[in-house]
Amino acid sequence: MNTKLIQEYGEDILCYRLRTARQKKRMLYKDFEKKLLKINREEIKLKLKQRNIEWVPLVPPFQKGWKRYFVLREDVVVSKQAWFFENILRKINTQDWSHRRDFKITKRRYGRKKQVVKGQQLLKPYDYQFSKMNFSEDEKQLFHEVFEYEIRGKTVKRYAFSEPWRFVLRVRPNMITMVKNNDAIIESRLKEIENYLERNKLREKLYKLLDGKVGWRSNYARYEYKEKYVYKNKAFSQVLHLIKEET
């Protein structure tokens, strides 16, 4: 405390616990940080409520594209081991979606565009996944180990089904039958919180308060994104405009 106040009003002023200018400034920072943490807790609770909103039937349902998945081949369905392969398929089946019924995509080959059917494979579980799928000993005999290269040249072990010919792909309409009830109050408040944090660039400060280090999202916010190929996929008039701005 300022000694001039003690000289002027005496030592009795010490019982009032008056704060110095530095202490007042520090209290402002602490109050602001508490406000940020309170906003973060509110955002987490609102997102949890939004995630737990129940789904209700959609009347009438509508179709959105097509879905494709594996089913047993016709001769396997009528065989005595149909239930055995059905149980395997239930664990390694995959599903894909497309807006086209033929599941064709555009690929460029030697500079030319070509329509090809999109590929789809059975699930090849990793080693740690395979042990959790509760395959019986007879079912495990139908899998073999494969080693594949992934990102950074790392080799991983996976398990592939040895008889994929027993399954065929089937295309069916992708019907939307359920919809989640939207809570306008929750969405409005979440948008309000997001705008406040993004507009004032407070995400980085909030990450520091939570874990003491800069969050991964703030690394992208530090620097403005600069396009590597400025003139790529731009019209000639846009290229001329960019050249004029640079000069």
What is the per-residue pLDDT for 142?
94
The whole-angstrom separation of Cα 247 and Cα 242 is 9
pTM of the full structure: 0.62
Radius of gyration of the chain (CA): 31
174: exposed, middle or buried (C-beta count within 10 Å: 0-12, 13-18, 19+)?
middle
* 138 and 85 co-located in one domain: yes
Strands 167-180 and 55-72: antiparallel
Whether residues 63 and 119 share a domain: the answer is yes
* Co-location of 134 and 206 in the same domain: no
Are residues 194 and 82 located together in one domain of the fold?
Answer: no
69 plus 171 within the same structural domain = yes
Query: How many domains, in total, are found in the chain?
Result: 2
Residues 140 and 201 in one domain: no
Among 162, 178, 194, give the residue marking a domain's end.
178
The verdict on 130 and 204 lying in the same domain is no
Of the candidates 223, 242, 244, the one whose C-alpha atom is nearest the C-alpha of residue 232 is: 242
Segments in the chain below pLDDT 70: 1-19, 212-233, 236, 246-247
Same domain, 170 and 89: yes
What range does the domain containing 63 cover?
A: 56-178
DSSP E strands: which ranges in the chain? 55-72, 95-98, 104-109, 112-117, 143-149, 155-161, 167-180
Whether residue 60 sits in one domain with residue 49: no
Residue type at position 3: T
One domain, residues 60 and 152: yes
- Which of 146, 162, 178 lies at the terminal end of a domain, its last residue? 178
Check if the beta carbon of residue 214 is closer than 8 Å to that of residue 208. Answer: yes
Q: Looking at the structure, do residues 60 and 14 belong to the same domain, yes or no?
A: no
Domain end marker among 151, 178, 205: 178
Q: Which residues pair with residue 178 across a beta bridge?
A: 57
Predicted pLDDT of residue 223: 45
Does one domain contain both 48 and 67? no
